[in-house]
A = this chain, B = another copy of it.
Amino acid sequence: MTHKQASPTLHPDRTGNTVPIPAGDTGGSVGKVELQIVTFDGSDHVLHLEGGGSLSPLTVAYETYGKLSASRDNAILVCHALSGDAHAAGYYGHSTDEKPGWWDILIGPGKPLDTDRYFVICPNFLGSCYGTTGPTSIDTGTGQPYGLSFPFFTIRDMVEVQRWLIDHLGIKTLTAVIGGSMGGMQALQWAISYPERVRGVIPIATTSRMSAQGIALNEVGRQAILSDPKWLEGRYPKGDPPGRGLAIARMIGHITYLSEESMHQKFARRYANGNGRSFSFSKDFQVESYLHHQGDKFVRRFDANTYLYISRAMDYFDLETDHGSLEAAFSQCLSSFLVLSFTSDWLFPAHQSAEIVRVLRKLDKEVSYCNIESDQGHDAFLLPGHRMGDLVSGFLERLKEGGAP
C-alpha cells in the first residue's frame, strides 16, 4: 500500500455558483486542502466486483477535513454524486477566484459537519475520473487506459472500496455517512453492508432503487454519447472525446437537477441577447445558452466512458431486488437515519424517500424524516437557502447524546 499527497485534479462545478475566497479570511472554511492518494494492492486487496471481474491494484483519492480524535470515533464519511469528486470543502489555493469544494456550505468550522469536532472524509468513488481507479486509469496489465475494458461496478462495490479506506485510516466506527443523490445511495448501502460500523446515516434526495423515469433519462444520456461518431466504441483519444454527445447528456442532466420553478426564476423566457427571436436554431434564450455552457464545461472536465459506467451503476441500484424486499434490505441495520428530500425534486421525488422511511419505521429503526420546502429542485442539496444544514446539525447532536450502535 502506498500513500501520498497528490496534485489535486480540477474540482467540479455542479451549481455554476461562484463563491470567492474571502480576502485574507476563510471564516467557516476549512481553508487550503490537498487531495490525498492511497493505493491498495496485494492479495488482501483484490476487489471482486458484483458484476464479475476484479481490480488490483486500486487507487483511492480522498480529502479529509478536521482532526481524527485519539479514540478515532469522530469520523464522518461524505459520499459524492455522479459528477462529483473528493474535493468537498476548502480551497486548493490555485487562484483567488477559485470556487470552494462542492459541499463547502456544509463542511467547515462551525458548519453542520463541524470540522472543529468531526474528522470529515470524502473519497472519490470507484469508477470516477477524479483520482480513484476508473475507466480513465491505466490498466497495469496493458499499460493502456481501461476504457471499456473496465469492469462494471455497482454502488455496493463503491462502498466496499470506501470500507478499505476507512480501515486504512484506522477507523472502526463512523459517526455518520452522508450523501446526496447517488451519494445517498452509497449512504444507504453503508447502513446495509456494514451495520455495526455506522452510527448515523443521512441519505439526501435519493432513493432505494432507481425509478423507471430515472433509468430512462440515464439511457437517453448514454445514447447521446454512444451515438457520437467520436465515441469510437469507447476508444476515443483523450484530446478528442465525444464532446457533443457528452454535452447533450449533461444538458439533460442539468434539466433534471433543476425544477420547472427554479428554471423559471433563473431564466424565465429572457433572450440571450437584446434582439429577441432570431427565427433560427441558434441560442436565442438564456436557458439555451446556460445549457450549452454547462455542456461545454462538462466536456472539459469529465470523461464520456466514465459517464456511461456511473449512470449504469445508478440504474442498477435496487435494494429491493438485492434483498428480496426493502424490509429485508434494512432488517439488519443498526444505524439511526435522517432521511431528507426536497419538495421540488422531481428526479428523486419525496415519495421515494418517504418509502424508505415507511419501511424503516415498520422495522422499528430510529429514523427522522423531513421533506424540505425548496423550489431549487434536485440540486437543492448542493445549495444554501433551506433547512438541510440545521437538520443535519440537530441529527448529529442527538447522535452524540444517544448511544447506538
Contact flags (1/0) for A222-243 with B, using CB distance below 8 Å?
Answer: 1110111100000000000000
**Residue of B at shortest CB range from A284?**
B315
For A227, give its contact among B248, B269, B277, B291 (CB under 8 Å). B248
Instruction: Check if B263 sits within 8 Å of A216, measured CB to CB.
Output: yes
Cβ-based interface call for A194 (8 A): no
CA A336 – CA B120 in complex, angstroms?
63
A243's closest neighbor in chain B, by CB? B227
Cα–Cα distance between A152 and B213 once the two chains are bound (Å): 33
Q: A51-B279, A251-B220 are in contact. Are A227 and B212 (CB under 8 A)?
A: no
Which of B212, B219, B288 is A216 in contact with, Cβ under 8 Å?
Answer: B288
CA A321 to CA B270, docked complex, whole Å: 11
Selected from B244, B284, B308, the residue in CB contact (under 8 A) with A281 is: B308
Given contact pairs A248-B227, A279-B152, A260 touches B312 in the complex (Cβ within 8 A): no
Q: How many residues of A contact B (CB 8 A)?
A: 55
Taking the closest CB of chain B, its distance from the CB of A294, in whole angstroms, is 11
A181 to B244 alpha-carbon distance, docked (Å): 30
Instruction: Please give the distance in Å from A387's CB to the nearest CB on chain B.
Output: 24
Contact of A212 among B210, B222, B287 (CB under 8 A): B287
A315 to B277, CA, bound (A): 10
A245 at the interface (CB under 8 A from B): yes
State how many angstroms separate the Cβ of A329 from the closest Cβ of chain B.
14
Tell whether, in the assembled complex, residue A210 and residue B269 are in contact, meaning their CB atoms are under 8 Å apart.
Answer: yes
Interface contact A285-B215, CB-CB below 8 Å: yes
Contacts of A251 in B (CB 8 A): 216, 219-220, 223
The 6 closest A-B CB pairs, nearest first, are A51-B279, A152-B279, A212-B263, A227-B244, A212-B267, A212-B287
